[in-house]
Chain A
């Protein structure tokens, strides 16, 4: 009897800890109910400021940001595809976007039920690139992701992330690029800074969008309903070795 009581006392905190926090099942209730299968990635809404071009370095910096923002849009469809959703590729999506007469803001706020009736799209993913910033040894990007249903216009997923990439340095503090960055730069034919930014946004997309519950085709859809989702606002730190860490504001 005593042993059972001890066991219960030992298990209780574990049970309580496991119950703490909202589950995906609750947070993405609407998404689980609607079960979208086709997601359309709307063109990137780039709200970040660029340098006023006064010298050649400014235009190089701006070009680097432009490429990175394009990469942010191009790599958004892959994580969703891996989750079991039907997502058109960027080239085909651009053709669809060209037929759309509404602006990004209107798409975000207005009734988009016609996208379901005319094109069979269940949900639209909006990506807002809010800002870029540089500090001594780190680069940051602030991005907002919104997944909106075309059936009733509700927001099924909304995340605001501030991603920071810590630039790898040697023991003297000089920048020392990772091999993966060098490979990326060679493959894409861009400079190292651009490669590092591109890889940062790619990691950001992967990390944020994999939190969306899997589509109905995925086998593990039932199991992941009980896992813990990401908070609505969070900071993401990409460490020097490339690993990713989620931080609260107080931990920064």
Chain B
């Protein structure tokens, strides 16, 4: 066909098409938006999801997630001025259950200050969870710093088992803290990843626990074995000692016997001599008389 066209002289070379810049820009913008949306996924799910998870599996990992979710929602609520009743208390109780008593007390006090009707309930919770801090009324500031501190605690306690490589806390120019994921993941996929991470963490903790238990059992068995061996050795030693003492006593008794026999023999000999001398004397007297 082309040849025909050249032959006939109707052929026109095709113009090289310019790339459609506008279209490419639109696609780029779209992709960037999707990427950014993926990056802006929250660190943890909602407090409700974390709470349900904690109620289903009450482990340190799920408690940690719950505390972090509460911290995040508290932080968001304070920033947006939409603080609900019980938010400080939930975070405070989670911290208290994790063993961070000082911070927990401050959060519970903040709840009592923000909602005075909760004063008596907060007191009861403090009596139960923080009996030594009932009269402590120092109020904590919510703040992103708590999240950071919480993370460092988590690092302290969990890092021995598993580091959290997918989270980073960044303080920007306005002094606000952003929890960012180091690897951007899809926002829908992220909660699944979170639960998977939680499960992995729980598994690691359980394995660690089981290992510790196994070690403890093995240690106790080894200690019992060692004690048995020691007891046997001691018994042997005692037996040997007793035998030696017995032998010694027997030898001493034999020696004594021999000594007594010798003395008796000596006495007998002396008696014999005395008698023979007497007899001799008697004979001599008889001869002298007779």
- Residues of A at under 8 Å CB distance from B? 37-38, 40, 67, 70-71, 74-75, 77, 81, 85-92, 95-96, 98-99, 118-121, 183, 186-189
Contacts and interface: CB of A to CB of B under 8 A. Distances in A.
B279 interface: no
A145 to B, nearest CB: 19
B86 A81 contact: yes
Contact of A189 (B48, B87, B191): B191
Interface string B78-96: 0000001111011011100
A88 B85 contact: yes
Contact of A70 (B45, B55, B115, B192): B55
Interface of B: 45-49, 51-56, 66, 84-87, 89-90, 92-94, 115, 117-121, 124-125, 127-129, 188, 191-192, 195
B86 A77 contact: yes
B93 A92 contact: yes
A189 B124 contact: no
Nearest to B118: A86
Most chain B CB inside 10 Å of its own CB: which residue of A67, A92, A118, A188:
A92
B125 A90 contact: no
A37 B51 contact: no
B98 to A, nearest CB: 12
A120 to B, nearest CB: 4
A38 B52 contact: no
A249 B87 CA distance: 40
Given A95-B128, A120-B119, 6 more contacts: A37-B117, A74-B48, A74-B55, A81-B84, A88-B86, A89-B86
Q: Is the interface of A mostly helix, strand, loop or mixed?
A: helix
Contacts of A120: 117-121
Contact of A96 (B54, B121, B188): B121
Given A74-B52, A187-B49, A92 B195 contact: no
Given A81-B84, A87-B85, A92 B125 contact: yes
Given A81-B84, A121-B121, A187-B46, A91 B191 contact: no
Contact of B129 (A70, A95, A189): A95
Contact of B85 (A81, A95, A187, A189): A81
Given A70-B56, A81-B84, A86-B115, A186 B188 contact: yes
B53 A75 contact: no
18 contacts: A37-B117, A38-B121, A77-B86, A86-B86, A88-B86, A89-B89, A90-B51, A91-B54, A92-B121, A95-B93, A99-B124, A119-B124, A120-B117, A120-B119, A186-B188, A188-B49, A188-B191, A189-B191
B192 to A, nearest CB: 5
Name the residue among B52, B66, B89 with the largest chain A CB count within 10 angstroms: B52
Given A81-B84, A90-B51, A118 B120 contact: yes
A96 B124 contact: yes
B94 A187 contact: no
Contacts of B46: 187
B257 to A, nearest CB: 83
Contacts of A87: 85-86
Contacts of B53: 188-189
A218 B166 CA distance: 42
A98 B128 contact: yes
Residue of A37, A77, A87, A90 ringed by the most chain B CB atoms within 10 A: A90
A188 B46 CA distance: 9
Contacts of B125: 92, 95-96
Contacts of B90: 89-92
A86 B84 CA distance: 9
A205 B195 CA distance: 26
Contacts of A183: 188
Given A75-B48, A187-B49, A189-B195, A88 B118 contact: yes
B124 A118 contact: yes
Nearest to A84: B85
A193 to B, nearest CB: 15
Contacts of A186: 188, 191-192
A38 B51 contact: no
A173 B133 CA distance: 61
Contacts of B84: 81
A67 B52 contact: yes
Nearest to A39: B85
Given A119-B120, A120-B117, A186-B188, A86 B94 contact: no
A62 to B, nearest CB: 13
A57 to B, nearest CB: 19
